[in-house]
């Protein structure tokens, strides 16, 4: 009994040691992978290099040709751009009812056309 208790305490101690070691290793990995922190440190240590690089990049961007795109607006398209007047409650109710009734009307008319054309299986439409 004492032997199993001693073995159990050794296993518990080994697990605690492994957890601490894993925690330390994960902290090291987290610090090594912290790109934002490394970038900030690099900018602080090598500020002149970063400023020179930014100036060169800006100069290169300034050398790109300007984008020349002409936009023509005619009278017909300007009418489309006008805001629509606010719809009343009845218009909204009608649109809602029509969105529900439209598939029903189409199904009914399809069934009637199929019956007129004597298509077999039209009863199931």
Sign of CA pseudo-dihedral 48, 50, 52, 55? negative
Confidence (pLDDT) at 79 = 59
Average pLDDT of span 33-49: 90
Using the predicted structure, report yes or no on whether residue 71 has a pLDDT greater than 90: no
Alpha carbon distance 113, 103 (integer Å): 15
pLDDT of residue 1: 58
Whether the Cβ atoms of residue 111 and residue 122 lie closer than 8 Å to each other = yes
Break the chain into its structural domains and give their ranges: 84-125
Taking the C-alpha atoms of residue 62 and residue 17, their distance in angstroms, rounded to an integer, is 59
């Amino acid at each position: 009994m004492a032997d199993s208790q001693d073995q159990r305490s050794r296993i518990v101690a080994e697990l605690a040691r492994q957890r601490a070691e894993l925690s330390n290793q994960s902290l090291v990995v987290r610090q090594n992978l912290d790109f934002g922190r490394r970038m900030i440190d690099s900018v602080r240590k090598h500020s002149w290099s970063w400023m020179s690089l930014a100036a060169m990049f800006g100069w290169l961007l300034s050398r790109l040709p300007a984008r020349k795109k002409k936009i023509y607006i005619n009278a017909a398209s300007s009418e489309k751009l006008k805001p629509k007047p606010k719809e009343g409650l009845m218009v909204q109710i009608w649109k809602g009812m029509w969105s529900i009734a439209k598939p029903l009307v189409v199904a009914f008319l399809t069934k009637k056309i199929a019956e007129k054309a004597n298509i077999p299986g039209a009863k199931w439409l």
